[in-house]
Structure 1
Amino acid sequence: MPEICRFYGIIIRMFLIDREHPPRHIHIKYGEYQAVMELENFNIIDGGIPRKCRQLVREWAELHQDELIEMWDTQNFHSIAPLE
C-alpha cells in the first residue's frame, strides 16, 4: 500500500484499486489507531482515530482533495506535501 503522506505521527496510505472498493478513500494510521476516510465528504467509514487527528487529516485532505481523487482514479501514486 503506497504511503501518500506522513505528518505529526499520522500516516496516510492508499491501496491499489484491484484490492479496494468504492467509495474513494484513504487509510489513516496514528499509533495504534486506524481508520478509513472517504474522499468525497471526509467521513470516517471504518475504524476510528482521535478527534484531533481526524481534524488534521480532514484539513490536509480538503487541501488536496482533487489530487487525491485523481490519484485514486489513475492509480498514479505519489507523495503529497504534509501539513506544516
Structure 2
Amino acid sequence: MPEIIRFFGIVIRMFFDDHNPPHFHAEFQAHRAIIDIQNVRLLDGTLPPKQLKQVQAWALLHRQDVAKRNPNPLTFHAPFCTSFSLKAVFHGITIN
C-alpha cells in the first residue's frame, strides 16, 4: 500500500482505486485505523485519541486537495502529500 506521509510516528497509506467510501489507512505503533476522507471519521480500527485527532486534522487540511484532483467524489485516484510544519498546521484546529 503506497505511503502518503509520516508525522509524529503516524503513517498514512492509501490504495488508489480502492473500494468506497474514499478512505485512507492510518497506522501508529500497533494501532490501525481506516478514516473516511469526506467525513474525516473513523470507519474501522482504533487509534489513541491524540493520534486520531492529529490524523483528523491532517485529513481536514487535505480534503479539498483530494476533491480538486478527483472529479468523481466516490473514487480516489491521485496521491497527495506536501511538506509542511505540522506544529503550525495543528495550531488553532479544533476536532470534535
SS in 2 for 1:29: strand
* Structure 1 partner of 2:81: 79
- Give the superposition deviation at 1:76: 2.6
- In structure 2, stretches of 5+ residues that fail to align are 88-96
Task: Tell me: higher relative CO, structure 1 or 2? Use CA pairs within 8 A at least 6 residues apart.
Answer: 1
Given residue 26 of structure 1, which amino acid in structure 2 is its aligned partner? Answer: F
Measured after TM superposition, the shift of residue 78 of structure 1 is: 4.2
3-state SS of the aligned residue for 2:55?
A: helix
Q: 1 CA distance for matches of 2:80 and 2:41?
A: 23
Evaluate the alpha carbon distance shift between residue 74 and residue 32 of structure 1 in structure 2; reply closer, same or farther with a 3 A threshold: closer
> TM-score under structure 1 normalisation?
0.83
Number of residues paired by the alignment?
82
Q: For residue 34 of structure 2, what is the amino acid of its counterpart?
A: V
Tell me which moved more, 53-62 or 73-82: 73-82
Shift of residue 40, structure 1, vs aligned partner: 1.0
Q: What is the rounded CA distance, in whole Å, between the counterparts of 1:36 and 1:74 in structure 2?
A: 15
Match of 2:4 in 1: 4
Give runs of aligned pairs for residues 1-84 of structure 1, distance below 5 A. 1-17=1-17, 20-69=18-67, 70=69, 73=75, 75-81=77-83, 83-84=86-87
Moved over 4 A (4+): 71-74
TM-score (ref. length: structure 2): 0.74
1:79 is matched by which residue type in structure 2? C
Following superposition, the deviation at residue 48 of structure 1 comes to 0.7
